[in-house]
């Protein structure tokens, strides 16, 4: 039992180290990247993985907390990408363009289509609820 706990502690420490490396890289990315979209993906992808593995590492070191921590991991996994998606969408719609010249823009057509349908249909169909 003692050996198992020791092994779990070392694996947990490894996860915490990995997570802190990713968190550091995310912070570096926010500082170094040229425009909003790059910063968003650095800040979200890296920090989601970093926070998740730090929490998982703590859970392996303290097995009593594991269930609670798994719930926290699910929460981070749902909320972090969602918020970055909403931020990116809102910034695109308010007219912030990428730093580099864009080659492919699949979302532009989507926005145009939505605008067209909003003009033709009555306002009641625009409501958020389906």
Partner 1 sequence: MKKLIIFITVAVLTYTLAVTFKDIPFGENRIGDLNNPGTVSAYYLQKAPEDLHVSNTITAVVVNFRGFDTLGEVTVLFLAATGLASILYRKEDEEEDERITLKSSSLVRTGAKILFPLMLVLGLYVFIHGHLTPGGGFQGGAIIATGFLLMLITYKRFNTNHNVMVWLESIAGLAFVGIGLFGLFRYGSFLQNTGWTGNLNDLVSGGLIPLIYIFIGIKVGTELTNVLDILLKIKPRKN
Site residues, partner 1 (CB under 8 A): 71, 75, 78-79, 82, 85-86, 89, 93, 126-129
Q: Give whichever of 66 and 72 is closer to partner 1, judged by the CB atom.
A: 72
CB of 57 to partner 1, least distance (A): 22
CA–CA separation, 71 vs 108, rounded Å? 37
Q: Give whichever of 9 and 92 is closer to partner 1, judged by the CB atom.
A: 92
CB of 32 to partner 1, least distance (A): 26
Tokens of residue 26, six digits:
């995310």
CB of 53 to partner 1, least distance (A): 21
Q: Give whichever of 32 and 93 is closer to partner 1, judged by the CB atom.
A: 93
* E strand intervals along 1-130: none
CA–CA separation, 85 vs 66, rounded Å? 29
Phi (first) and psi of residue 104, to 5 degrees = -120, 130
Tokens of residue 15, six digits:
């996860």
């Amino acid at each position: 039992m003692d050996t198992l706990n020791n092994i779990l502690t070392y694996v947990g420490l490894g996860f915490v180290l990995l997570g802190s490396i990713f968190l550091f890289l995310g912070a570096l990315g926010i500082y170094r990247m040229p425009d909003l979209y790059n910063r968003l993906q650095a800040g979200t992808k890296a920090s989601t993985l970093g926070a998740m593995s730090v929490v998982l590492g703590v859970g392996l070191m303290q097995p009593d907390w594991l269930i609670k921590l798994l719930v926290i991991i699910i929460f981070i996994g749902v909320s972090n990408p969602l918020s970055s998606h909403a931020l990116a969408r809102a910034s695109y719609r308010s007219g912030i363009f990428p730093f580099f010249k864009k080659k492919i823009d699949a979302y532009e057509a989507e926005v145009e289509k939505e605008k067209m349908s909003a003009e033709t249909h009555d306002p009641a169909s625009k409501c958020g609820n389906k």
